[in-house]
Structure 1
Amino acid sequence: MTTTTASGSGGLLSGKPLRAIAAIILLVNGMFPALWILFTSLKTEGELTAKPITWFPHAPTLQNYMQAFSDQPLHLFLFNSLMVALLSTMLTLLVSVLAAYALARLNLKRRGLILAAIIAVSTFPLVTLLVPLFEIMRTLNLLNSWTALVLPYTVLSLPVCTLMLVSFFEGIPRDLENAAMIDGCTRLGALFKVVVPLCAPGVFTAGILAFVNAWDEFLLALSFNSNPQLRTLPVGIQLYQGEFAFPWPVISAALVVGIVPVAVLIVIFQERVVSGLTAGGIKG
């Protein structure tokens, strides 16, 4: 009887209550910083520094958002970030689709070694690549241009996107491609007309990962572009800080504006992203 009770108790702790607690912890950990930034952006400087701390704004104001656009060219930062992220995402998807298809379908020698190399490259810290990438961009005379960011962002996103798509392509029957090629398609035609549409969740997921990586990146954007007209959003937001002042409400408003495009993108493609992540996890 004692053994049964202990077993039942252990099962209870490892069942729904434990999963619910874990879900709550993850939700709080993910949502609390975003909500805190949102509430801060709606507060005045006086309310933010008042004691005791107020969790919710007593008199919400949009003045911080207007000041965020007037103090700095926030619209220009958004445009630069959007263009760099879109261009790098499109280039990443094109190259990763071709690379993943080659790894999944072609009888490549040392395929395992190639996959191991891709995994190894993806683990390199970004700071260790900064100087070599800077020297390459300077030699190619690409500094102070969108290209100086698009190319490195593509390279940095390729390993993860390629590995993700390999698992999807391996799950597509070869007979479908063979049938398309019998009907007159080339191998590339079969890839883009048959395989890629069937792997749409994985392609969307890889694209969003590449977009978010490019949208959030700060170190390369700060190092490769000194032209004020080419600053991206992460670099532009630091300009709100003064020598002796740190206007948190205005900075929070700029952060909220920067979060919105990514949040909208994820909401629009939520089902495809979730199915892509789960399917990729099962196939991997």
Structure 2
Amino acid sequence: MPELPEVETTRRGLAMRLEGRRIARIEARRADLRFPLPKDFAATIRGRRVEALDRRAKYILVRLEGGLVWLIHLGMSGRMVLRSGWPNDIGAHDHVIFATDEGWAVTFNDARRFGMMDLVPADRLEQHRLLACLGPEPLSDDFTPAVLQAALAGKRTPMKAALLDQTVVAGLGNIYVCEALFRAGISPRRLAGTVRPERLARLVPAIKKVLLEAVEAGGSSLRDYVQSDGELGYFQTRFRVYDREGQPCTACRRPVKRIVQSGRSTFYCGTCQK
């Protein structure tokens, strides 16, 4: 699944071509993705000017004129590919296609159809059922060690699971939680409520740093993910523990371990992370 850096990379790529332009043409090639598309979806968007592209957690927020927000989630395998001119090679999994008055076209491709799109009045965005319970943005000033400590207080779940809880912090996924915990020297198996404040003081900057590095690197290119301009991300060349089972730890040279937590692979160093 595309994680926060991949979504942010996509947002930045789209913003360069969409902001300030009008949606001149749009085709929804099916009535639903993970959820049904809103009634009159294409007709409601067509002709509107794109005022800004923002992100909340793993959601792209396309702010349209008239106080409407086009909410987009890439799901498991969704991607948005940007090109000059309307595509003439439309595939079976190209579900939504739109173009600006300047001629740039975007194709939303989603083989598994776990992605979603919705239209939300801007003044009700924070109350949307998918956004209302989200925790703070990890890259914002609101995400501090004190805030994280309060969110984790009393939690008896492993640290890895706690950080994946979107009500604790928004947008973190499996890859970057593994990487951040390694940098902070915290075991993914440690119970979240037992992590001392001084260790959380290391973890919060580690989360911010690994996310920023990944965004600057263009996101991680795993399986189906590509950037909006078709270029692959390359952060996976910098992984220190993720997907490195049995390889030497970059710090102590002991083999990186892999365990399964909540049905997902966790990679960590048993020596460096306590």
Q: Give the structure-2-normalised TM-score.
A: 0.24
Q: Larger % of helix: which?
A: 1
Larger CA Rg, structure 1 vs 2: 1
Structure (1/2) with the larger strand percentage = 2
